[in-house]
Amino acid sequence: MIRLDRISSVIFLVVFVGLGLGFGYGRENSSKRLPTIARHAAAVDAVRLSTADTQDAADWLSNGRTYSEQRFSPLDRITDKNVGQLKPAWQFVLNTSRGQEGTPLVVDGVMYVSTAWSEVYALDARTGKKLWYYDPKVPRDWSVNSCCGPINRGVALWGGKVYTGTLNGHLLALDAGTGEPIWDTFTFPSDEEYTSTGTPVRQYSMAGAPRILKGLVIVGTGGGDQGVRGFVSAYNAETGKLVWRFYTVPGDVSKPAENPILKLAAKTWDGDSGGGGAVWDGIAYDPELDLLYFGTGNPARGVHDKHEDRLFGDSVVAVRPETGEYVWHYQEVPNDVWDYDSTAQLMLADLKIAGRVRRVIIHAPKDGFVYVIDRATGKLISAKPLFTRVNWATGIDPATGRPIENPAARQGSANGKPFVVFPGPLGGHSWQAMSYSPRTRLVYIPVMEMPSIFQVVPIAEKEVSKTSNGEEPEWEYQDQVIAKVKSYYSAHMAAWDPAAQREVWRVNLKGLWHGGTLATAGNLVFQGTSSGDFSAYQANTGKMLWSISVGTAIIAPPISYEVAGDQYVAVTVGWGGSLGLLKGPIGMDNHVPTNLPRVIAFKLNGGYKLQPVSIPAEPPLNPPPDSASAPQIANGRTQYARCLRCHGYCGIGAGDAPDLRYSPMVYNGALLQQVVKGGLLRSGGMPMFGSELSENDLDAIRAYLIHEANVQIAKNKAEHR
């Protein structure tokens, strides 16, 4: 089949992230509740998880704290009256410079933290002292498969074990007391195409936090934008055996569909699905309705002028947890061409709407709308835009639940005129967790108003199959429009009334890509920002009551827990994720330049003093003269797409991988060939490109990087003038 169109965004990218026994609070109660589990580390079971809202204020047992995924802590020792006394209690420095998107879990005085490279730490939640550490040894060059750098959103706890998904697709069960591995299951499908070294040809990755219910570990996968066929799977928590797998999009249409529901889904596609629909973040479970919910990503390739729905792309899907049997779906963006992933956190709440208590899912995906969905039936109750500039659709038809699309948005720049689409592919709101307070009945949502230029690029079949690096920006075009797009960039935290579907207050924030939120019973909302500030706001008014600078960007959501009578608020800090790769022209200049990833815990009158984080000295910038021809530099810029996931836009290093503009190895053409084609630095995580990259193209990359280095020198000079 010939695919005529590839949809791409100029501005990028993502189309384009012995222990607790001694502490003694409430343990008698919980051991009574837990007759079947010995009092050992991570003694979490179905009863404890389902009653955490009312019975277990002290702990943070699962990604969203409880099955409702509300991220509300019932603890109220820290309040809007005394939060001014909040001070650091301890910090624990992580051994990575990459992004931290994870939610730490705390049970019975032990904190479990995952880091960028899927490593796991168990810490004493009172002191931050390390109890054990496990390194799954993810090959560093695997991050080439991940759209958004090496990241991990957290672990799960059940029956004395810690479960973690690794970037390279292993689901691991670790002994919660020792960190020893118990089982290790590879989750990427065996009928995939693999290279001789055992890596899948398609760009699979895994970063989402597992969820656990009824003795099943539920995980999804990443890579939908790169053609991976999305799925969600359930594994036996004791044995690691696959129990069921639900594919979210049809596969090869020349073969019989795996099940009747995929047969129905296939009718909404014109031929092969080409993948997508990855389940890379939001998963929730309702124990009363006994339904498992998950959100799916966009179809891998959108076609701008086709009238297809492409199920189950951009949908919320409900299945039976024991079998994975389909129950209902609600598609938020039929035939998505804008990379609007319906993957954001699925929050369950009981809301009084028009005099009646409704059991709902509150969902604020990247497409910029807030949806309230009946979680028993999947019927839309209401949907409203998060901010006024949302322009891909003018609204959601309450009768059909379908968007009322703006035709110009789907047309993109096909008519030659750039279309500025709100939101862009990073969303109005994405994986950055939101929280809900049952006291204020407000949802606290980290919002970005970050548009993108949407254009339709005709492309031949041959080139489509080459999109293994995802959809890359059209740089020339970008130069002309970036200033306009940047002028719209803004971010805020919205306090949103989901019953009335309106904003009640907002806090405007400088910069973009801020952290998730935490609501507590002390009438507080906590949020960290990319400028490295961690702040507390009064939950009913939005008044800032407390703030501290931690010298490192915060993108992860905070948690709260209690040990030995003290309430703590903790957050993992560390800059990264997709925007972390965009230091250069995209204008991500607002985040704090220092980066020391760590976990920081706060309590009232804590006694730890945070030290300032130092800025590493800048190495000399001595490139050869910029003498290459414009076409060679342009080719180098195109070829550099293979490098930017690790080395950042324009070669401006974004973490572990060095800033290539400063690299003497780039200045030396022969050495560069050895490093890039010959695999000289492979053990350090620099992939071997071999014959995949021609010498000519590598020379072009070199010319491009030398050009960028000279651009920087000119900029530095202009600044010093």
Binding residues vs ligand HEC (CB under 6 A): 140-141, 143-144, 642-643, 645-647, 656-658, 660, 663, 665-666, 672, 675-676, 681, 684-687, 689, 693, 701
Closest contact distance (angstroms) between CB of 696 and ligand HEC is: 13
User: Minimum CB separation from ligand HEC for residue 705, in Å?
Assistant: 7
> Cβ 202 to ligand HEC, closest distance in Å?
16
Minimum CB distance to ligand HEC, residue 592 (Å): 23
Closer to ligand HEC at the Cβ: 366 or 642?
Answer: 642
| Whether the Cβ atoms of residue 203 and residue 230 lie closer than 8 Å to each other | no
Burial of 127 (0-12, 13-18, 19+ CB in 10 A): middle
Distance CA 399, CA 379 (A): 10
CA distance 353 to 441: 12
Would you state the structure tokens that stand for residue 2, as one six-digit string? 């010939």
Question: CB-wise, 398 or 684, nearer to ligand HEC?
Answer: 684
Nearer to ligand HEC, 506 or 677 (CB): 677
- Closer Cβ to ligand HEC, 325 or 695, answer by number: 695
Nearest to 345 by CA among 443, 213, 247: 443
Q: Which is nearer to ligand HEC, 352 or 466 (CB)?
A: 466
CB of 692 to ligand HEC, least distance (A): 9
Which is nearer to ligand HEC, 34 or 681 (by Cβ)?
681
Report the distance separating Cα 187 and Cα 165, nearest Å. Answer: 9
Contact 226, 466 (CB under 8 A): no
If one counts every other C-beta atom within 10 angstroms of the C-beta of residue 590, the result is 16
Which residue lies nearer to ligand HEC by CB, 390 or 654?
654
Q: Which two tokens stand for residue 671?
A: 């050495």
Neighbours of 627 (CB within 10 A): 10
Smallest distance from ligand HEC to CB 672, Å:
6
User: Could you tell me the smallest distance in angstroms from the CB atom of residue 332 to ligand HEC?
Assistant: 32
Phi/psi at 191 (5° precision):
-90, 10
Q: Output b/e per residue, 202-225; b: 16+ Cβ within 10 A.
A: bbbbbbbbbbbbebbbbbbbbbbb
Residue number, 569 or 646, with CB nearest to ligand HEC: 646
> Can you tell me which residue has the tokens 């080719």?
635
CB of 664 to ligand HEC, least distance (A): 6
Least spacing, CB of residue 275 vs ligand HEC, in Å: 21
- Please identify, using beta-carbon distances, which residue of 396 and 701 lies nearer to ligand HEC: 701
Query: What is the nearest approach in angstroms of ligand HEC to the Cβ of residue 636?
Result: 9
Residue 417 tokens read as: 């005129």
Residue with Cβ nearer ligand HEC (228 or 676): 676
Cβ proximity to ligand HEC: between 605 and 622 the closer is 622
* Cα dihedral 54, 60, 62, 64 sign: positive
Could you tell me the CA-to-CA distances from 297 to 364, 470, 531, 661 in Å, in that order? 13, 14, 29, 35
- b/e sequence 415-442, b meaning 16+ C-beta within 10 Å: eeebbbbbbbbbbbbbbbbbbbbbbbbb
| Least Å from the CB of residue 687 to ligand HEC | 5
- Provide the 10 A C-beta neighbour count for residue 414: 17
Centre a 10 Å sphere on the Cβ of residue 366 and count the other Cβ atoms it contains.
29
